[in-house]
Each structure stands twice: as C-alpha cells, then as structure tokens.
Structure 1
C-alpha cells in the first residue's frame, strides 16, 4: 500500500532488477530516498547507486553495497571519472536473510545518512556534489517493492518538500509548514499491523481546534469515513468502500482529492477555510514510515 508522489517524481513499484531509472529534477540537501524491499535467504550482495548521469558508466555519488560473504559488512564508496575512491567498510549488517526491509537515505549537508528499519546506520560524507545526482540504480540479490524520492529538486509546488518526518510514533502530530495551499500534497507512507481496527487522519485549524478534514479508515468494516467538525459539532459522514486506507491528500481550491496507489479514490469538498489549516494529526492502529509535505 503506497502513496502517489507530488508532480516531478512518481514512485516506482516492483521494478525488475537490475534497475536504472532517472530522478527528474535531481535531489538536494533535505531530500530522502525511500526504498522498501526484501532480500532472499541465499543472498550474497546487492548494490544501490546514486548516479550523476543515466548510464552504467556515470559517476557514482553514493555506492551502497551490503555483502554477505562470511565477514558480513556494508561497503560505501564513490566513483569519479571511471575510478573508484577508497572504500568505507562498516562491519555490521542491518539486513537479515529472507526478510523485508525499509531503507532511507537522507541527504544532509554533511553526507548521506542511512537508516535501516527506522534505525540510524551510517553517515557517508559527500565526495561529489549532490546537485549532480540524476538517477538511481539497483542490482544484485534483492527484490524491490517501492522506490520513492521525498523532497526532490523541483521548486515548491512541483515536488519539493518543506517537511519530512521519518518513522514517527503514533499518535503523531505536526505543524504543516506554511499551512495548506492549493496544489499542496501530503504524502503518508506506512503499514497496518495485524489485527488493526481503525485509524484517524485529521487536518486541523489549531486556532479553533476545528477539524477541516477527518478521515477514518475502518479496516474490519472495509470503509473510509470522512467528516469535518466545526464549533465542536461533527457534520454528516461520507463513506466509501476501500481495501487500502493509505493515500495522498491533495488540496485544491474547492476540495481535497484523495488518491490510493496513484488512483483517484474520492473528493471531499471544503467545509471550512482550508487556508487556516496548519496541523496534521494521526492516531490509531497504524505504523508510519514517513510523512512528507
């Protein structure tokens, strides 16, 4: 279950391996690369490269290479003008044979901060300018379910994010930088644990505590309930069947548009002034991998 990304970069689902694909608009400090996948029981190694071009021979800003070779380790490196630089070998293995993983590569001012399954792993210092990154490459013993670029190189409104929260505990509450604007999209990536019953997503006007948009996926009922609360009073509910509670929420001048797996699910017309919305709240039976504005 995944979310549609803002214009500029669309998530890649279940790519064939080896994979090489462009990152339109590039990346910048503050962006993150989110990868969900799994490794087989008989894994030997796999590679993830952030390339400064769109071919195998391009410079490599980041080479991420877990190796199961009896001395399990993860090798980091860069390549410039066809020559590899010195390797950084981290003799810890954050991946487990036969199991799924979530990898986040956070692009900071100091380097590439890697996180595996929500835990910091290693900060690899920049050796090439991140502004040169144009593609991502994956090869080796790995299956990939999702590749997503969070906060890419396009200006605001065209895919550049203003805020990213990674592996947040629930209940979760955050301010929306700059408030809601037309064409702003909120992207939430997560999973529903076994036995989950319901969860809630609220867009809130903090000044009045009005809930401009309340979305309540009820897993066992198979419905997504929508509503709004003004002056302490809930309005009439809207319902629609849905097998997947995760989605992106895009703000328009007249309505919120909600998407699941890139497919339009429903519209919810504004019942209060959307420009006053400045807070997102999430609670219930849900595990959040990231939230992106």
Structure 2
C-alpha cells in the first residue's frame, strides 16, 4: 500500500516507499521539489522514478516521469497522457551512482520543468500537460531510501506576514515589524547555476532572481545595495560534521572590508558549541560580540531557511519560520554592497528582494 505524507510539513523526513504525496496548491511557477536519497549498492538496484501526476496514481496522466536507469546509463523523461506514453528524452548521461547520496531539485517554470541533479543543472523538460493539473508526487524504486522531500516557493505560497515579500513559501510567524511590501518575486528562466564551472563566475542573482547552489566561499554583489525593507532569502544545509560557517554583509572596498554585519554560526568550533556570534568590524577592528539567542536552529545535515531583513534601525533575522535575532546598525546601511558566505555550509538557493 502506498504511504501518504503530511503535505503541510515543509520537510518530510518520514518517507515510506512507494510514496504518494499531494502537492498543496498544485504546481505553480517557481515551486520547487527537492528530493534527497540514496540507491543502495545492490546488484538489483537498477533505478527508480520520480513522477509528477494529475492524480494519486500514475495512470492515466503523468506530466513528468523522471526515471534514472543505471543499467542503461541514462535518465528517461517522458509524459503519459490518457494512459499512453509519449516520446522519451534520454540525453544527459547518468549523474547518480549506487551507494552515494543524490539530490534532485525540480522547479516549475511557465514553459518547462528545470531539473538539477547533485547541484548541477541536468535538463529542461517542456510541459506536455498544463502544470496546473499536477496534484501529486509519486516516488518509487527498489533498494531506494529517501532521506527527505521538501517543497518551497510557488505563486500559491502561504500568505506572507506584513512587511515580507509575497509569493515565497514561508508560513506566518516570523515576528518581523510591519513595513512596505516589496514587489512580488518573479522567476527568470534560464536554468540552475552550475557550481563546478571554473571558467565562469557564479550566476548573477539580481533583484528577484534566484541563485542556485553557488560555490562557497561566495562573494555576491547586492543589487542596489542594502536599504530599508530589502530582504535576503537563504536556504542551505551545514555539511556533515560542520564546525562553523558565517554570513557577512560587507562594504567596499573588499579584501580587508568592513563587516557591517557578521553572523557567525559556531556549531562546534574552538571548544564552543551552539553559539551564533554577531559583530561588526570597522577599519580592521572588531566591536563587542552579541551571542544571546532564544535557541540554536542549526545542525549538521539539517536544512535551514533564513531571511535577513533590513529595517530603519536594525537587521532582523528569521530562521525556520521564526524570528531569531535583531542586530542594531553600527555602520550606515547604504554602504553595504556585498554578501559573503563562507565555511562548512552548502547553499541551495539565494535571493535578494
């Protein structure tokens, strides 16, 4: 019997196979489905499938059938309409290996599904069935273990609290102060960033654009610099065994830049555990540290969603749907022009709004 998951959980870590889960609100532009798992190193572990379907069964209509076939060295993509399969797409090779953790991200755009595998853009599959008809995710396979399934984004996201950008999948409860609402998020098609390309700089993340899987350390220009009501959305995961990572807002010139806001997550570093240090460095000199937190929301291999919002007088930071800390400005906001991320962390996505 197929197991139905709780669709309201932002991250489902209790995945039984075969898995059938309703997609709340269906698929809309910008919605992402992130799947992490491992195919066991077994002689009969030949493949599995990830399916976006119009009902709780594959038949009669499956908008996207994403079928890694390790025994054939390819990932087959197809659509079923009225019980009949269409033409297969097979190019792209096989980036998934037995015994190794894989991660698949499927993002719906207006014309196609953009699919990344292990942090690298893999394929664009044009819609053959209107994505508005898609209501279920079905995952199945022998000798397959799914670590988690995560949904985020989309135009039918839960309404945002006052002062936060609409069109982003964040439940209420951040506790941010009300303020003018920035323009809605719009996705710019073009695929996912390819973090291992050394000949090109990371993909540009302009206002409203999304940067996926950037290389760390990251130095990213902030479009329009920081200003009141600007927000930075960061989704990521600390590495297994992570000790420390930091998120910094810098002012030009760089190199020995001033750190207007230093957010330093110390999971287990220098004999200190579960501390988030906030500070400012001006003309090479650090100020007084702030360390008090209501809780510690970071852990190795645990996904986090974070928002940094600039107000008139301070930065407000939310982590995993809850207000986390407030940091009063020690330097003028208007001089901040660069985001820096470094340390034991992988960033899934980054957006300025």
Check whether TM > 0.5.
yes
**How far 1:107 sits from its partner (Å)?**
3.2
Matching of residues 1-293 of structure 1 within 5 Å: 10-42=10-42, 43-57=45-59, 59-68=61-70, 70-90=71-91, 92-141=93-142, 142-154=144-156, 156-159=165-168, 162-174=208-220, 186-192=233-239, 196-203=242-249, 211-212=260-261, 214-220=263-269, 221-229=272-280, 234-239=287-292, 242=296, 244=299, 247-250=304-307, 256=316, 258-259=318-319, 267-272=324-329, 280-291=339-350
- SS of the equivalent of 1:148 reads strand
- CA deviations 1:234-276 (Å, max 9, x no partner) are 343215685616633346778745446x7x6x73124139996
Structure 2: 5+ residue runs without aligned partners? 1-7, 158-164, 170-184, 186-207
Query: What count of residue pairs does the alignment treat as equivalent?
Result: 281
- SS of the equivalent of 1:131 reads helix
Inter-partner Cα distance in structure 2 for 1:14 and 1:275: 43
**How far 1:74 sits from its partner (Å)?**
1.6
Task: Answer with 234-243 or 220-229: which moved more.
Answer: 234-243
Task: Answer with 220-229 or 155-164: which moved more.
Answer: 155-164
Q: Tell which has more relative contact order, 1 or 2 (C-alpha 8 A, sep 6+).
A: 1
Indicate conservation of the 8 Å contact 1:26/1:152, yes or no: no
Inter-partner Cα distance in structure 1 for 2:232 and 2:60: 33
Partner of 2:176: none
Indicate conservation of the 8 Å contact 1:249/1:256, yes or no: no
Whichever structure has more strand as a proportion of its residues is 1
What's the TM-score, normalizing by structure 1? 0.76
**How far 1:231 sits from its partner (Å)?**
5.9
Indicate conservation of the 8 Å contact 1:72/1:91, yes or no: no
Structure 1: 5+ residue runs without aligned partners? 1-7
**How far 1:97 sits from its partner (Å)?**
1.1
Task: Answer with 169-178 or 92-101: which moved more.
Answer: 169-178
Inter-partner Cα distance in structure 2 for 1:164 and 1:137: 27
